[in-house]
Structures are given as structure tokens and as C-alpha cells.
Homo-oligomer: A and B are copies of this chain.
Amino acid sequence: MISQKWLKLIKSLQVKKYRKMEQSFVVEGGKNVLELLQSGYEIRLLLATADFQRQYEAMILNRKNAATQAAVEIVSEADLARAGGLQTNNAALAVAVMQPNLAIMPSASSLLLAMDGIQDPGNLGTIIRIADWYGIAGIICSDDTVDLHNPKTIAASMGSFTRMPLYYTCLVEYLKESATLTTVYGAFLEGDDVHSAGFAQAGIVVMGNEAHGIREEIVPYVGRKIHIPRYGGAESLNVGVATAIICDNWRRTNGPPAPEGGEAPPPTPPRKGGEF
């Protein structure tokens, strides 16, 4: 059984206002909580099924012994389903403390993504996961982009939120300053084909709002217009899918990230399942 105190906190964190007040957010599902346990995030509460607790005992114990102790409670799957927003969760749920909104400067050696008013939390989470896969240096979000700490964003990121830096700011001002330092890419109908455009190693790619695209005030700072070629009948691609294709074409042109300190990049670890 989850105590009423914790249940009330978890429920309140579905709402942005209370997340801000508590400076906390909810992380659900085994994969997501495992990544959280291995990250630098402070954890206030961990609810785990007995199975999850047994399987990751050492990792959880480590956390309990950390300077700031997390409350750990063993709960049933029914408890998890009642507390959280996922339809199925047979593993764990955690309440973590937000990290500060640190500025991300344009990188000299990597691509950044910029979200111009992305509204769907699933889309933002998917984009965080894609950015993490492709080794993007960070994501700049306009102030009106959906909240990173929305439970659906966190869920869709599949743990990648622990690794990918996000910075919420006035995107118009950010791009105005950045445009003098690096190339700002944006997708437009009349843009260059991403297959032949050739990407620089560094730059910022602006992804527009799902319904309205890139806002007018940002257009003057887009130095390079690109587009994804269409070969069939569909009118559009989802913004997450479009981000993936742009990142893939950027990597195809520029290769793997430059190793730091002359070390080789880490090899691909074994992965389970059909997702790639």
C-alpha cells in the first residue's frame, strides 16, 4: 500500500503548477527508473514491485545510502497502476528532483536541436530519445514548448532524459545571437534536399510546431533552409520522425563524434528486442 501522503504528491505532479512548486517530477516504468537510478538526479521516492527490488537491490541500496536518502516502498503492480499514468507498469515509479535550467551554448563540434513550440509531450520525449541516439549535444526549447517534466515526455524518452541536456529560453533571442556564431537550419518547402544538402559538423536545427511550423520571428535567423524529399502520397511526416531523418542525414555526412582526449567512442552495447 502506498501512503496517502505519497499518493497525493504523485497525483499532484501530473500538473505543471505543482511540479514547479515541488520542483519534482514523476518517472514511470522499469527502463526509465533504471536509468534514473544510474543518473545524477536526486530521488525523493521510489516505489518498486518486489520483483524489481530483488533484481536491482544493489543499485537501490546505493541510492538509499546516498547523502540524500530516497524513501523506498515495496508495492504491488495494482498500486503502481493506481498511482501512475501508465496502463501497464510492473516494475517501478519514482519521484525525482528537477535539475536547474542551465544555459547551453552553441557547440563548435556538434549539432543542437531547437524546439519551436512543440506541443505534444510524446513528440518531445521521442525527440529526446532520438537526440540521445545520434549524440546531439543538447536541445534548446522555446518557452512555450511542452514541459520536459510532463509524465508523457519522460515516459516517451525511455530514460534518455537523464543524458540529454535541455534548455528552456526565449528561442527568438537565442537564435538571434546564435545565428552570428553558427549555421541555423530550418525545414521549409523550398529548402535544399537533405540527401544532397550536406550538413556542417556544427549547427542548430529548428523543428517547428506540429500545426504552425516555424514562427515568423525566427525565419530571419534561419541561414540554411532544408527539406525532406517526399516520394509518395502522404502529406507530411510527424515531427519526431522528421527529426530522426535529419539527424541521420547529418551523421551520414559527418560521421561519429570526435573522440575526447583521443579515446575511441564506446562500442554499441548489446540491446534486447526489436527496437533498433
Which chain A residues have a beta carbon within 8 Å of chain B's beta carbons? Answer: 116, 126, 129-136, 158-160, 163, 187, 189, 195, 207-214, 227-242, 244-245, 248-249, 251-252, 256-257, 265, 268-276
- Chain B, Cβ-Cβ closest to A244: B241
In the complex, the answer to whether B238 meets A275 with C-beta atoms within 8 Å is yes
- Chain B residues whose C-beta falls within 8 Å of the C-beta of A274 in the assembled complex: 116, 187, 207-214, 239
In the complex, the answer to whether A160 meets B245 with C-beta atoms within 8 Å is no
Please report whether the interface of chain A is mostly helix, strand, loop or mixed according to DSSP.
Answer: loop
In the complex, the answer to whether A273 meets B189 with C-beta atoms within 8 Å is no
Q: Which of B133, B211, B252, B275 contacts A232 (CB 8 A)?
A: B133
- Chain B, Cβ-Cβ closest to A227: B276
In the complex, the answer to whether B132 meets A241 with C-beta atoms within 8 Å is no
Once A237-B275, A275-B238 are accepted as A-B contacts, the answer to whether A270 and B189 lie under 8 Å apart by CB is yes
- Chain B residues whose C-beta falls within 8 Å of the C-beta of A136 in the assembled complex: 232
**Considering the chains assembled together, what is the distance between the CA atoms of A228 and B134 in angstroms?**
10
- What's the nearest-Cβ distance from chain B to residue A225, in Å? 12
Closest 3 CB pairs of A and B: A208-B274, A135-B232, A213-B274
**Considering the chains assembled together, what is the distance between the CA atoms of A257 and B232 in angstroms?**
9
- Chain B, Cβ-Cβ closest to A241: B244
In the complex, the answer to whether A213 meets B273 with C-beta atoms within 8 Å is yes
- Chain B residues whose C-beta falls within 8 Å of the C-beta of A135 in the assembled complex: 231-233
Q: Which of B133, B230, B252 contacts A195 (CB 8 A)?
A: B252
- Chain B residues whose C-beta falls within 8 Å of the C-beta of A248 in the assembled complex: 195, 228, 245, 248-249
In the complex, the answer to whether B232 meets A132 with C-beta atoms within 8 Å is yes
In the complex, the answer to whether B211 meets A231 with C-beta atoms within 8 Å is no
- Chain B residues whose C-beta falls within 8 Å of the C-beta of A236 in the assembled complex: 133, 158, 271, 273, 275-276
- Chain B, Cβ-Cβ closest to A156: B238
Q: Which of B132, B208, B227, B230 contacts A133 (CB 8 A)?
A: B230
Q: List 14 A-B contacts (CB under 8 A).
A: A130-B237, A132-B233, A134-B231, A136-B232, A160-B233, A160-B234, A163-B232, A209-B273, A211-B272, A228-B248, A228-B276, A229-B251, A229-B268, A236-B271
